[in-house]
Amino acid sequence: VTVGDLSERELIARIQRQLPPAPAWLTLGIGDDAAVIEPERNHLDVLTVDAVVEGVHFDRRFTPPEAIGHRALAVNLSDLAAMGARPRAALLSMMLPAALPSDDFDAIVTGLMRLAADTPIHVAGGNLTRTPGPLVVDVTVTGTVKRRKVLRRSGASAGDDIYVTGAIGAAAAGLQALQQDAADESLSSCVHRYLYPQPRVRAGLLIGRTRAASACMDLSDGLADGLRQITASSGVGAVVWADQIPVEPPALEWFRRHDQDPVIAAMSGGDDYELLLTASRRARRRIHAAARLAGVPLTRIGSCTAEPALALLTTADGAAHPASFPAGFGHFR
Amino acid sequence: VTVGDLSERELIARIQRQLPPAPAWLTLGIGDDAAVIEPERNHLDVLTVDAVVEGVHFDRRFTPPEAIGHRALAVNLSDLAAMGARPRAALLSMMLPAALPSDDFDAIVTGLMRLAADTPIHVAGGNLTRTPGPLVVDVTVTGTVKRRKVLRRSGASAGDDIYVTGAIGAAAAGLQALQQDAADESLSSCVHRYLYPQPRVRAGLLIGRTRAASACMDLSDGLADGLRQITASSGVGAVVWADQIPVEPPALEWFRRHDQDPVIAAMSGGDDYELLLTASRRARRRIHAAARLAGVPLTRIGSCTAEPALALLTTADGAAHPASFPAGFGHFR
């Protein structure tokens, strides 16, 4: 059975079967012309949309359908995390090729619903349409944040420290291994990291609450791109120390084995969904405390500068040498 | 120049050039990880998403790019209208083939922005991605409505009157004429109606305010489908009088000339975006007053019945004869 054999109503029923009970604030869920939601008192609404497209953001040859659904929600949750927002409702818009097996459809929904339950966020509505083209899963999410706790991209000042959560490069190494059909045991953590990215929702919330960060964004398109964007939005530059950048060990090993500079490869690779933060020196203690509470590693990798340029410095031979700043990943991805 | 020659940043800049000044409630618009919005006091949030896909919902051979952008927003505004909600923010998610001329990209945005300005609704964010497949414009909209003024699908009772705003069939006739390359002067109003549907936002708001309607939905997939859905949601049936159904005169003429039963063709055709309403007999005066205030015709076409079946009756020869209820349009469109 493929989705082409089923009516829209039957497909919606299949989604509804996987829905958990509705939260109290959901006045009206799937089944009417639109979803209706009770706003959260004294909070702002945060809204974002992000799509995953077959052949652009995933390859069905090595991406299981659960991972497609997971990714479609994760990329959006990562944007909420980067705003310091608590997730609330998701709208699921899918463009379905008629030949998609209905089991795969169910599994895409399962992957999305599993991450939704873990987060939690509630699927409140959506849209299904057929397409003569590739499978698209386009997800809109809403969240809430208190007015003074919004994490913007544009607040970094010269002299602020630059931090990154967790470690980077794993997703890029995992993707390379899958593409080359070379994903052995040593790469399994990287492959899992690529297939099932874990958005830093709790870290974003806790960092937002401390009001310690001056700017924040998520690393959907890699650290090089993130540094470029956060500094451009804030009107500053940055000096980053290559030796300080936390590259996931098996990814570092993979890049070395494949003649890639590990730092450049890790900075250029996308799909990490870590958070990139800036904070004043005075806020060092608070920002580390928030990360500790969230259970995520936090590494200081450089400083913001008044001069609006980006520099990657290496201390390989004891002295600082400017290294070329990687071009970044995913222009118009 | 095609969109494949431009970076995501350049495309976003082209959208921003067409953006009007931000409303006061927009805390953070395009350019960060997500949009941030001030909620409206004492209102509920209404959320919906709907996509238009090339080759499914529009044909680029006869649909100008402005009409694609217009439609992508209009179908969503129609859902807000059907809830009695006031539009606020839109998120614009586009999947762009590399070969799309950048002038067409601009014109799609222009068509959308023009309807947004007329409504008004503000484009607060979105996402751009390339695609190896057809052009997709997926729009999410939010609106607000007071708790007791939500128009649901599920509130119709046996004995309620059934109404439709405006007239139907014009979009279906216009589409047929375009498809057959037969859109002469007499069909120009129908063609325009198909290309630039006008969502009944003001009518939905005013009808919601009077609290006169027991149920409401929009006719995106045609009157036959709408009657089926509103009665199924409400657990009632309906008797509809074929002679009462307001079919747009040039469409009626077109259907006759092409050997189609005008009522069946008009009921089966989609894309009208009129509102289908039910209201108790006691509310007749109030519902007509609301429609008058909104400046839209309102026609009573039948009644809800306790028996959960649909009947289309004709009085062609002076007596009522059951006519077969049309199958409706657009299962899994």
A47-60 pLDDT per residue, tens:
999 999 999 999 99
**Residue A332: pLDDT above 60?**
no
Quick check: B49 and A125 CB within 8 A? yes
Strand, helix or coil at A15?
A: helix
**Residue B96: pLDDT above 70?**
yes
A37 touches B at CB < 8 Å:
yes
Strand partners, B26: B37
- Residue B275 to residue B4: CA distance in whole angstroms: 40
Q: Smallest CA–CA separation between A45 and chain B, in Å?
A: 5
pLDDT value at residue A328: 52
Determine the angle formed by the axes of helices B65-83 and B201-210, rounding to 10 degrees: 0
Quick check: B49 and A79 CB within 8 A? no
**What is the mean pLDDT of the segment spanning A270-277?**
95
DSSP state of A186: G
| pLDDT tens string A70-102 | 999 999 999 999 999 999 999 999 999 999 999
Quick check: B32 and A83 CB within 8 A? yes
| pLDDT tens string B207-263 | 999 999 999 999 999 999 999 999 999 999 999 999 999 999 999 999 999 999 999
Tell me the one-letter amino acid at B20. Answer: P
Which chain A residues are Cβ-neighbours of B39 within 8 angstroms?
A: 39-40, 43-45
The 3-class SS string of chain B reads CEHHHCCHHHHHHHHHHCCCCCCCCEEECECECCEEECCCCCCEEEEEEEEEEECCCECCCCCCHHHHHHHHHHHHHHHHHHHCCEEEEEEEEEEECCCCEHHHHHHHHHHHHHHHHHCCCEEEEEEEEECCCCCEEEEEEEEEECHHHCCCCCCCCCCCEEEEECCECHHHHHHHHHHCCCCCHHHHHHHHHHHCCCCCHHHHHHHHHHCCEEEEEECCCCHHHHHHHHHHHHCCEEEEEHHHCCECHHHHHHHHHCCCCHHHHHHHCCCCCCEEEEECHHHHHHHHHHHHHHCCCEEEEEEEECCCCEEEEECCCCCCEEECCCCCCCCCC
Which chain A residues are Cβ-neighbours of B218 within 8 angstroms?
A: 33
A79 touches B at CB < 8 Å:
yes
Quick check: A233 and B51 CB within 8 A? no
Query: Does the interface ipTM go beyond 0.85?
Result: yes
pLDDT value at residue A315: 77
Quick check: B132 and A128 CB within 8 A? no
pLDDT value at residue A322: 72
Q: Smallest CA–CA separation between B274 and chain A, in Å?
A: 13
Band the pLDDT of A331: cuts 50, 70, 90: very low
Q: Smallest CA–CA separation between A316 and chain B, in Å?
A: 35
pLDDT value at residue A329: 43
pLDDT value at residue B314: 86
- Of all residues in chain B, the one with the smallest CA distance to A275 is B33
Q: How many residues does chain B have?
A: 333
The beta-carbon neighbor of A82 closest among B33, B143, B152 is B33
Band the pLDDT of B330: cuts 50, 70, 90: very low
Least reliable range by pLDDT among A5-9, A71-75, A196-200, A248-252: A5-9
- Of all residues in chain B, the one with the smallest CA distance to A33 is B79
Give φ, ψ of B8 to 5 degrees: -55, -40
**Residue B319: pLDDT above 60?**
yes
pLDDT value at residue B119: 98
pLDDT value at residue A333: 39
The beta-carbon neighbor of B51 closest among A57, A95, A217 is A95
Mean pLDDT across chain A: 95
pLDDT value at residue B322: 73
Mean pLDDT across chain B: 95
| pLDDT tens string A112-121 | 999 999 999 9
Task: Name the residue with higher pLDDT: A284 or A319.
Answer: A284
**What is the mean pLDDT of the segment spanning A33-41?**
96
- Residue B197 to residue B28: CA distance in whole angstroms: 30
| pLDDT tens string A215-253 | 999 999 999 999 999 999 999 999 999 999 999 999 999
Burial environment of residue B91 by CB neighbours within 10 A (0 to 12, 13 to 18, 19 or more): buried
**What is the mean pLDDT of the segment spanning A138-142?**
98
Sign of CA dihedral A72, A76, A78, A81: negative
Band the pLDDT of B315: cuts 50, 70, 90: confident
Q: Smallest CA–CA separation between B130 and chain A, in Å?
A: 6
